[in-house]
Structure 1
Amino acid sequence: MTYETQQPPASDGGTARVRWNKVPEITAYFWVIKVLCTTVGETGADYLDGQLGMGLTGTSVVMSALLVVALIAQLRSSAYRPGIYWLVVVLVSIVGTLITDNLTDNLGVPLQTTTAVFAVALAAAFLIWFTTEGTLSIHRVDSVRREAFYWVAVLLTFALGTAVGDLLAEQLSLGYWVAALLFGLVIAAVALARYAMGLGAVLSFWTVYVLTRPLGASVGDFLSQPADEGGLALGTVITSVLFLVVILALVVFLAVSRRDVTEREQVVSRPAA
């Protein structure tokens, strides 16, 4: 199934169909909102788990259910809708965080193990995606199957990013601010390799997508955690609300301006001779 709409007959007598990409164009807005979403994923999960007393299991069940509802709405949409898309990203960020936290805190799985497992799982998802579709391009997420691969990969990047971030910031005792600086430097190095050395677009994108998760989470922890734990003690509520307000403002702006809408592809079907 592809996301297509019928258009008037083409000038050569065929029928023109428009195929819509279901994900946004990669702009500065994309990366800013992505980092903000990862921060909310970290602080939001902490708030739901701790402040509301839902526990990891209860929080995981509720947020997973909300993610399923939002994801169904996203899959049923015929084109990219900023509000729905970024709502799914926020929920995926929270659920990805909870998956790693459940494995670490409830089941006692070491962060080194979860990091390795999620890295292998993400590589396998990319392999299956490429083998099935022949491309990993995010500019051609124009069918239900491709979008399903896309969201599986996104979920795994959040789970992997959570494990990597916790491993460096907490278990290796680097601290939140140092970890954020380290991830920022690695992202800058990937960007340099992309634009100065010709590193592949697909590899560059997904590498940065993984790294922005621990970057955002480290920033969120730095802002929200108590001072005696290396944070600024703003708390999870203030941090989450602040970032959600900024996300909402940017999403509304993009919905109105349509600056991140990928140009549609026109497919012409010609009548049989």
Structure 2
Amino acid sequence: MSAVTGFDASGFTALRIEEREDRVHAKMDRPAVRNAIDETMVDEFHALCAHLERNPKILIISGTEVESAKEPGKSSGIFASGADIGQLRERRRDDALRGVNSQIFDRIHRLPMPVIAAIDGYALGGGAELAYAADFRIATPKLKMGQPETNLGITAAAGAQWRLKELVGEPVALELLLAGRILDAQEALELKLVTELHEPAELMAAADALADRIAAQDPLAVRLSKRVFHLPREAHPHVDEIAQAILFESQAKFDRMQAFLDRKKK
């Protein structure tokens, strides 16, 4: 699939962007601080979201490799170690009310097309909350995921307080939020917090394979299904019927159903 150059990320310093016809891969690239999420990264995610809101595509978010502190010369994967503690320490009440991370994670969650988090290594604090905001989470056996905020004298305020309860249930959510529990890969898989485990060398191929399966669907049907899925219970079934009415008039519906009928005849 040929590269698409409609989005100019040449000035980015925290994210590395690869755009293709049907997807965008955003790699968090601040290895010196273990991909800590700072305001520069947040601003770059906002710019990327603005592009994807105008040009809906699947988004894959991943981390990068960092050099091991214990074994110089060796590297290991990391998704994101959380917010930048150096910046976080200086933030005050008004900064918290701005919702720096919560606003961008919610915007990522609301993107028109699905978001895939491909997680290798640590996803802690804000890094975990970014992963929760994705529609799909796949990981490597090296995954470590949790919320260490209360040990730092703060709370998880960028989505974990409510998304975790929806994703893993209240008992496990409370262990993560109040007792500092860190999940390993197998635990996260058993809890369905991640749905696939792959070796690090195979992770991005797996993310692209998942994106391929999504891209094979009708894009408008995917967009409407995602939007309807996340609406509150009281909106259903009426909104389902409206979405279906829109799709019943789409050319893709006629073309895809006719192709299905033609295959059955063979």
TM-score by length of 2: 0.31
Report which of the two has the higher share of strand.
2
Q: Which of the pair has the greater relative contact order for Cα pairs under 8 Å at 6+ separation?
A: 1
